[in-house]
A and B are shown apart, each in its own frame.
Chain A
Amino acid sequence: NAGVTQTPKFRILKIGQSMTLQCTQDMNHNYMYWYRQDPGMGLKLIYYSVGAGITDKGEVPNGYNVSRSTTEDFPLRLELAAPSQTSVYFCASSREVAYEQYFGPGTRLTVT
C-alpha cells in the first residue's frame, strides 16, 4: 500500500493564482484531513471529511475549498492565493475520528 500520497511536493504561486493540492489514500479510510503548518508552529486543521460527499470546516477554512467525491481522493483548492497561505500542507486519513491518522509527505507552498 502507498498509504497517503500528495502532489505536488513543492509549488510556487503568484498572488491571485489558484491551484489544487491533490491527496489520495488507498487504505479505504472514512476520514480525511487537510492541515497547514507554518514554520515553527503546530498543525492547523483546514477542512476534514467523514466520508464521500461530506466535508466539514476546521480551524482555518477561509481561502480554501474541498470536495470528496470518492473515498480515496480529497483535493484542496486554493482560490486567489495570498502570501498568508505560504505554508506546508499535510493531508491525512484515518479509519474513524480519533483513530490513528496517517499522514502524507506534505506540499510546500510559497505564494509571492
Chain B
Amino acid sequence: LAKTTQPISMDSYEGQEVNITCSHNNIATNDYITWYQQFPSQGPRFIIQGYKTKVTNEVASLFIPADRKSSTLSLPRVSLSDTAVYYCLVGSTRGRRALTFGSGTRLQVQP
C-alpha cells in the first residue's frame, strides 16, 4: 500500500480557499486517491476520489499532477463548519487489501 504524508494541521479564515496536499511517492498504477472528512465524535465522511488530473464536486476539488506522486484537496471559501480532520487514502480498487487512514490533517477555520 502506498504510504501517504500530510501536514498535521492547518489554519485558515472564513471565506479563504484551503489547499491540503498529500504526498504518496510510491503510488501504484491502479491506485486511486480518496479524501475523507471527519468531525468530532463522528465517523469519517467521503469527500472526493480521483485517479488523475482534476476532479470536482459540489464540496471540493482534487488536483492530481501527471506523476501522481501527490494530490491536493481544495476547499473553496471555507466556513467555520469546515473545521475538521481531513484524511488522504491511496489504494487500488482491484486489490483486496484494505486501505489505512493515517493521522490526517486537522483544519481549523477561524472567523
- A residues near B (Cβ < 8 Å) are 31, 33, 35, 41-45, 48, 50, 56, 58-59, 88, 90, 92, 96-106
Binary contact track B62-75/A, C-beta < 8 Å → 1, others 0: 00000000000000
Interface residues of B (CB under 8 A from A): 31-32, 34, 36, 41-46, 49, 85, 87, 89, 91-93, 95-104
Within the complex, which residue of A35, A50, A90, A97 is in contact with B91, where a contact is CB–CB below 8 Å? A97
8 A-B pairs besides A92-B43, A101-B44 with CB distance below 8 A are A42-B101, A42-B102, A43-B87, A44-B100, A98-B34, A98-B93, A98-B99, A104-B43
A44 to B104, CA, bound (A): 12
Chain B residues with CB under 8 A of A98 = 31-32, 34, 89, 91-93, 95, 99
